[in-house]
Structure 1
Amino acid sequence: MSDGIRLTAGRRKFLAATAAVGGLQLSSPFIIKARGDVPVKIGFIDPITGSLSALAVSEVEGAKWTVDQMNKKGGILGRPVQLLVEDSANDTGTGVQKAHKLIERDKVDVIMGDVNSGIAYAIMGVTSDKKVLHIVPGGHTDPITGKDCKWNTFRTCNTTAMDAAAVTGELVKRFGKKWFFVTPDYAYGQTLQANFVKNLEKLGGTWQGDMLPIANADFSATLIKAKAFKPDVLLNNMGGAAQINCMKQFVQFGMAKEMALGGALFEIEAIRSVPKEAQTGWWVMEWYWNQPNVPQVKEFVDAISPSIGNRKPTARHWMAYVSLQAVKLAAEKAKTLEAVKMAQALSDLELPPDVSLSPNKIKYRAGDHQLMSDIFVGQVHPPGPDGPDDLFKVEEIVTGEKAAGPAEETGCKLVWPS
């Protein structure tokens, strides 16, 4: 995953991950302090340990840096911001427990989380019941802003429907209609594969695939099945450490010469950790650091890079940055931290260029509270001339509205408190 992070079990992994985000405490939440009274408290729940830890670490790095910058500029509504980070440990029960703790004991004003879609979905039940504004920076499963949407919940990353819609046509056009899926068997993977299959079958395609545990390590049986099927494209929908292991075994089995690679997300954290032969395929980036026509992006990259080991920020850093800036924008527009008024203020609020860091205008859509962000479709490649994080060539930018379709078709029906 991200540099210096080892995806091994147990205490070493937790210590490595927490060190990477500036020394998160083992027994208490990490708190960023600034001058002033009565802080604005933001609870941030992510799987700092577990198979998705590298993605979570990047989100927490981005959140930590963003809050530091906010506090240097007066915080939110003139009050300092405290970031309270809790580890969901990639476990739904733990994530829900941490949400209760942050709301009931720590009295946070806002909740953010989780990378794991199933945990993010479960946390929604707590935040809606407690009437606390909830932003999901990086959990993708569709019902969060679809059929189970809540007035208090907003999402920054794409839905799986958006990612699948953005890349399906490109994969079919370039490689063919016979696909094999390697998919994690939880909320994210289930909705992602369903959306891919829907799009593929509309184009007359056929498919096979396996649903595997989220932290699966041995892919030999699945890859043997894929070789026998002889697909045009193998779609590796796994995430985190599991995706890396699958990629490594794909190369070891000599499959790179037999079929194309592709799918929705192959994130920078994962690309850094696979063999050069597996740094390939057509994928989606939900944000990318190299946008030469958007000057605000370079300013952001130059500013944040020193705090994250002089690496380029990833989409996960951006997701945390946008989510926190959205809280500030909503509070300033509403002139309060009251959840209902902030949620109303954030609905259809266009993000300024220095927050969106995107080529097109984007906003959290009022109809479902989904961010209509730009989607970058292109090719992964080994490190290029712009350094070790020059790993992706953008071939097409798909707008969020085009990929998402109308809000009315998502199944979302927002019900606001009376």
Structure 2
Amino acid sequence: MTSPLSTVVAALALCWSAAHAQGTIKIGEINSYKAQPAFLEPYKKGMELAVAQVNAAGGIAGKQLQLVTRDDNASPGDAVRAAEELLTREKADVLMGSFLSHVGLALTDFAQQKKRFFLAAEPLTDKIVWEQGNRYTFRLRPSTYMQVAMLVPEAAKLQKKRWAIVYPNYEYGQSAVATFKKLLQQAQPGVEFVAEQATPLGKVDAGSVVQALQDAKPDAIFNVLFAADLAKFVREGNTRGLFQGRGVVSLLSGEPEYLDTLKGETPEGWIVTGYPWYAIQTPAHQAFLDAYQQRFKDYPRAGSIVGYNAILSIAEGLKKTGGSADTEKLIAAFRSLEVNTPFGPITYRAQDHQSTMGAYVGKTALRQGKGVMVDFSYQDGSKFQPSDDEVKKLRKGQ
């Protein structure tokens, strides 16, 4: 027989649990932590810093943010299962995350099917906000189109006619190459593409790739490889002299997570997008840098900024809803949402749900045996977008 005292205790515990749940906004985050640790370990730190800062400032409408992460094993199927588990078991209020483009597209589709808000933090494929875009999905990071568009003016200045291309053979790489060809031909009529090497993601045969590019005798190279594939390609290219006397334009290669891996092998003079954290002289970035280094005793990577800005975006959206994580209210809040970030103010475009977060464009150099970016400038993402009419056609009425 249950005693009156135990009944009271159980009731109090139930009330406390309900009150505790009501005082928390749970963010469910899915990502390829095991497959892409160089980017995603700093990314997680960036998220944790932002959550701590938001909560220390009183949270959102008196509610504390709680971050719950899941690994997607770089698999679209596993990502969808993780998202389902976050919603049903963990009772996540908001979904965000993903790194690889094909995984991000799977989660974009999941968000539409379940009619739940999803912030795609990192995947770069244009399809997330255009061809396969939907009303439930927003994207933070500057897209493939945006970052390639930032590089093309510098590529055209090289005045090289014969270009070779190397890229990972999945959505992100394919999209980057298609955009580069289109925009460079517009900027420099008569340009030729004399070789194209599409490699399996994470499994580049660097020797054969470098040899094929050398055989084509290009004037310049456009590279889209990243992470371990990039390191193998650079090492083999340096050994065989592939880069000597040739212009190289390389997407993402100025990010510290990749330059750190290259170390003294970093080729000099490549035109890249990246994140020169050590030389950005703005109050907003300095405040972020100081807080990050104080908390983690380490310097930030590009992933750190993305994770930090993603949580700031969620927090700002929740502020506009008065702390409600209702999907329809969040969608309305995110359309034209303005967020102050370490890179300056950004806006989520109402027409395609893409943020205007930009990137730094500069050149690689060696300093004291380490790869760095020099001669860089910040490129505002709002200036590297197709017209609204083009976006409307791409989204097909979404």
Is the TM-score greater than 0.5? yes
Matched, 1:153 2:131: no
Equivalent residues in 2 for 1:203-352, closer than 5 Å: 203=188, 204-207=190-193, 208-266=195-253, 267-280=255-268, 281-285=270-274, 288=277, 290-292=279-281, 294-311=282-299, 313-335=300-322, 336-352=324-340
> Could you list the per-position Cα deviations for residues 365-408 of structure 1 after superposition, in whole angstroms to 9, with x for gaps in the alignment?
11001011233211121236xx96x8112434332222112243
Task: Provide the secondary structure at the position in 1 that maps to 2:343.
Answer: coil
Task: Provide the secondary structure at the position in 2 that maps to 1:337.
Answer: coil
Measure the CA separation in 1 of the matches of 2:276 and 2:102: 22
> Could you list the per-position Cα deviations for residues 300-321 of structure 1 after superposition, in whole angstroms to 9, with x for gaps in the alignment?
101112334422x122111111
> Could you list the per-position Cα deviations for residues 221-274 of structure 1 after superposition, in whole angstroms to 9, with x for gaps in the alignment?
111011111222222201221122212221122223242322221121011111
Residues 225 and 405 of structure 1: is their aligned pair in 2 closer, same or farther, counting only changes over 3 Å?
same
Q: Is the 8 A contact 1:45 1:95 kept in 2?
A: yes
Task: Provide the secondary structure at the position in 1 that maps to 2:164.
Answer: strand
Q: Is the 8 A contact 2:266 2:364 kept in 1?
A: no
> Could you list the per-position Cα deviations for residues 169-217 of structure 1 after superposition, in whole angstroms to 9, with x for gaps in the alignment?
2022125132211101111111011001111222221112111111124
Amino acid at match of 2:228: A
Q: Is the 8 A contact 1:189 1:237 kept in 2?
A: yes
Residues 71 and 216 of structure 1: is their aligned pair in 2 closer, same or farther, counting only changes over 3 Å?
same
> Could you list the per-position Cα deviations for residues 141-182 of structure 1 after superposition, in whole angstroms to 9, with x for gaps in the alignment?
001011211112111111111111111120221251322111
Measure the CA separation in 2 of the matches of 1:395 and 1:43: 35
> Which structure has greater helix proportion?
2
Partner of residue 14, structure 2: none
Residue of 60, 72, 82 corresponding to 2:56: 72
Task: Provide the secondary structure at the position in 1 that maps to 2:167.
Answer: strand
Q: Is the 8 A contact 2:347 2:357 kept in 1?
A: yes
Partner of residue 405, structure 1: 386
> Could you list the per-position Cα deviations for residues 115-137 of structure 1 after superposition, in whole angstroms to 9, with x for gaps in the alignment?
10110110111122222221111
Q: How far apart are 1:37 and its partner, in Å? A: 4.4
Task: Provide the secondary structure at the position in 2 that maps to 1:85.
Answer: strand
Q: Which runs of 5+ in 2 are unaligned?
A: 1-18
Partner of residue 104, structure 2: 120
Equivalent residues in 2 for 1:108-147, closer than 5 Å: 108-147=92-131
How many residues align? The count is 371
Residues 76 and 290 of structure 1: is their aligned pair in 2 closer, same or farther, counting only changes over 3 Å?
farther
Partner of residue 55, structure 1: 39
Q: Is the 8 A contact 2:275 2:301 kept in 1?
A: no
**Cα RMSD (Å):** 2.1
Matched, 1:40 2:25: yes
Partner of residue 5, structure 2: none
Paired-residue identity, % = 25
Amino acid at match of 1:47: S
Q: Is the 8 A contact 1:289 1:314 kept in 2?
A: no
Q: Is the 8 A contact 1:149 1:413 kept in 2?
A: no
Task: Provide the secondary structure at the position in 2 that maps to 1:255.
Answer: coil
After TM superposition, the score normalised by the length of structure 1 is 0.83
